[in-house]
Amino acid sequence: MHSVLRAPAGGATRTALRRLTSSSTPRTIARAAPLALQQQQSLSSRRSYATSTPQEAARAGVIRILSKIGSKREIQQYLAQFSSVSSPQFAVIKVGGAILTDHLDSLCDALQDLYAMELYPVIVHGGGPQLNKLLNDAGVTEQYEEGIRITDGKTLAVARDLFLRENLKLVEALNNRGVRAVPVNSRVLMADYLDKEKYQYVGDITHVNKAPIESAIKQRALPILTSMAETVDGQVLNVNADVAAGEIARALEPLKVVYLSEKGGLFNGTTREKISAINLDEEYDGLMKEPWVKYGTRLKIKELKKLLDDLPRSSSVAIIHPDHLQRELFTDSGAGTLIRRGNKLHMATSLQGLGDTEKLKQVLVRDREGLDANAVVERYVKGLSQRPFKAYYDDQMETLGIVLPPQGSSTIAHLATFTVTKSGWLSNISDNVFQNLKKDFPRLMWTVDQKDENLTWFFDRADGSVSKGGEVLFWYGIEKPQEVVELMAEFTQNGRRMFGDINLESQLRRAADYATSLRGNRQYTTSAHPAAMQSSFAARSPRNAFQSRARPGASLLAASAGSAFAPRTYATTTNPNPPYGIKHKSNDVPSKVALIGARGYTGQALIDLLNRHPNMDLRHVSSRELAGKKLQGYDKRDITYENLTPDDVRRMAERGDIDVWVMALPNGVCKPFVDAVDQSEKGRESLVVDLSADYRFDSSWTYGLPELVDRATISNSKRISNPGCYATAAQVGIAPILDLIGAEPTIFGVSGYSGAGTKPSPKNDVANLTGNLIPYSLTDHIHEREVSAQLGRQVALIPHVAVWFQGIHHTISIPLKSPATSRQIRQLYQDRYAGETLISITGESPLVKNIAGKHHVEVGGFAVHSSGNRVVVNVTIDNLLKGAATQCLQNMNLARGYGEFEGIPGV
């Protein structure tokens, strides 16, 4: 595949926290990015700006800040696009009166970013809520006719004073931040009376005088307009702010028209979900027939269609909350509702139906001249005439997808070609085409080069994937494990060649490799900008009833099959190089497991999980106290407890009897057993997972917290130290805002008495605990050191034990460097853990009684002190499951090549 770009630019770092936290849950953003892309970004991030001008440094600083809400590739891409037009054509932003009252800081933060990036949107604001209040306070009864406010002389006078005051408030707020803004309040919106007798001083805009707007922008200032118009003889008239913004947009023809709304978008009246994107050419007629599209919603959609019909096809409308303006402008996923005219799509089942064959060949070649591409495409097109296919494309073939229906006994279709131009990505056609072909083919497979800059776009549309040799096999709709296993096995053995000559990408690669062998150096690449971009980083909200918005970034040519067992759940990692397919390695061979130290509660919980696992074969269970007794709760085979010594373990390891050793021993006891495994070559090749704290500070071991540690590292490890229960919950509760912490966090933790183990003590004596709360290790607890070491900064942990059996509750008090709101903090956590199967974010404080027996971590609360400088986060976890046994199984699955959540019930 090959690819192209678009882009925008950035602001000042003193408001980094606000801008950083102003992101909403994105529509569809994958977690993973190719290693090459990550490395390039890493190199890019180390560039020195010492020789930059102050303005360039500010711009670069904002880009770095905005990269927190998306990828640097996205930020640069959109900046390039926005910078490619004249300044007045960048964006028109309509600001409602409620935004000026309740969200002024967020608005100014976002505008400050744009200003630093030398982007100058035209701001049009209203003041409806403020006007209503003033009129009510003055005893003036509001009157409306057909939804239009009747504006008499007194109302007009109040409105004019109010709008000018609000205008000045916004201008001053921006100027105080170093953003040059100027009021543009006269001779811009020219109007006649709408109906003087009926509405009195209400205007009907007849003309927009662009000169004052353009003059302000030439002076590098943001033009701030009110929704007041004038007649030719100077009479001021009231006009609706939405109407004013629309008319200004018609005059300026901007790339973006943004309506800031407290709701943050349009919502499907049936599902109550936010509508991610609307392609009017494809969806308008059907949308207007929906029973919930009525009243104000119907009017708004009709008016937006009329507006977009008058604008260039490249223009779009976004309805967005002010907190999320940066995400809407600078990320592929956006945050609100994106509305475009889109393109009419077509479908053909023959070469004749596709029309001009020469044009088709040019589309398939795209930018591949010089690599024998023309000859390859010639043969490929000829092959299409001899087999059934369905092609999906727009009028200009900016996007072309060719699907080969299932043949013979197969029920899986093959996406053999998917080629998109830069314009096709930017105008959302790629998503529209993919959605259309998906309706016809519920089971589909395809392949993509792992270096392709748009790889995450395909991850978003797949149920599973597996990678091999620089290629990634994707699929959706394949639910039977056996089908997946067979598909993966064939791909692992043959790669794209498994699809023969039906895969254009495979043919082009072979042709290029052959040409390279003749020339002595490889010149073929699947990217027009190889490894030039980074995929988005944060999670997306659930898909709604409408299409997902396209991921811009390149023209590409995809081909061929695949995927993996469970749906992808790639996670944010501290090492930003999550591997592809690691949760779905092609391993269906059972693993022989030995559990050393199985008497404790954790050992019992792990035995239960292993009993459910299709590929974990428990062979030995060691417990000195239970030796000779039959193991209960394991149904796959009869097992009797043994009292295995290190010598026994050494002999078993030498024979290769065991694939996975799980050490469920007390702290300080594990080493002789690990040493025994390490004494033989076969033993060193086996996997050891230690549940104690013995190796959590050993750099030669991998710390196995999959949600925060690079899964690739875990996948490739033979020695894994399982995190502690308190430590897992604490790290999950702190990691998303680690960079924002101002001083040492304090963790007040309370565990059920199962955390005190099975050996009798006052800490697990129910009679002693009843009506009681027992603190222990008030300082320097082992988990305190563990959390501090993993997070890279000191924390204080104060553990307690209570009368319930299992489950931990953390109350974490975190000082902040800069003020933040509860909503901003919560959004950071939602973005950080979106897509993580075993982490749940809730607005309320989670309850420990609801986590017992569950396999996930729950995070909530997010209460911010009135100063804005301290946040309190609550975390709950089952100490025996995700705090120990469940996490152990995750690590075993990753390291042994099974699905990460295989054997975990309810996942």
Among candidate residues 588, 511, 573, 577, the one with its CA nearest the CA of residue 539: 573
Contact 339, 83 (CB under 8 A): no
Distance of CA 66 to the CA centre of its chain: 14
Contact 538, 460 (CB under 8 A): no
Residue type, 673: F
Burial class, 522, CB count within 10 angstroms (exposed 0-12 / middle 13-18 / buried 19+): exposed
The tokens describing 652, both together, are 């078993």
Name every residue whose Cβ is closer than 8 Å to that of residue 739 and which is 6 or more positions away in sequence: none
- Return the DSSP state at 28: S
- The HSE-up count of residue 523 (CA atoms within 13 Å, CB side) is 15
CA 730 – CA 746 distance, rounded (Å) = 10
Active site residue 725: yes
Amino acid letter for position 596:
I
**Cα gap 664→646, rounded to integer Å:** 14
Backbone dihedral region of 633: left (phi > 0), alpha (psi from -120 to 50 degrees) or beta? left
Q: Which two tokens stand for residue 54?
A: 């102050």
Query: CA–CA separation, 38 vs 347, rounded Å?
Result: 37
- Alpha carbons 841 and 834: distance in angstroms, whole number: 9
Radius of gyration, CA atoms only, the chain: 31
Terminus-to-terminus CA distance in the chain, angstroms?
34
Secondary structure element (H or E) that encloses residue 889, with its range: helix 886-896
Strand 557-558 vs strand 471-476: parallel, antiparallel, or unpaired?
Answer: unpaired
Label the pairing between strands 316-320 and 337-340. Answer: antiparallel
Query: Of the residues 108, 670, 725, 888, which is catalytic?
Result: 725
Q: Which helix (H) or strand (E) holds 836?
A: none
CA distance 113 to 338: 21
896: left (phi over 0), alpha (psi -120 to 50) or beta: alpha
E strand or H helix at 182:
strand 181-183
233/581 Cα distance (integer angstroms): 70
Residues with active-site annotation? 725
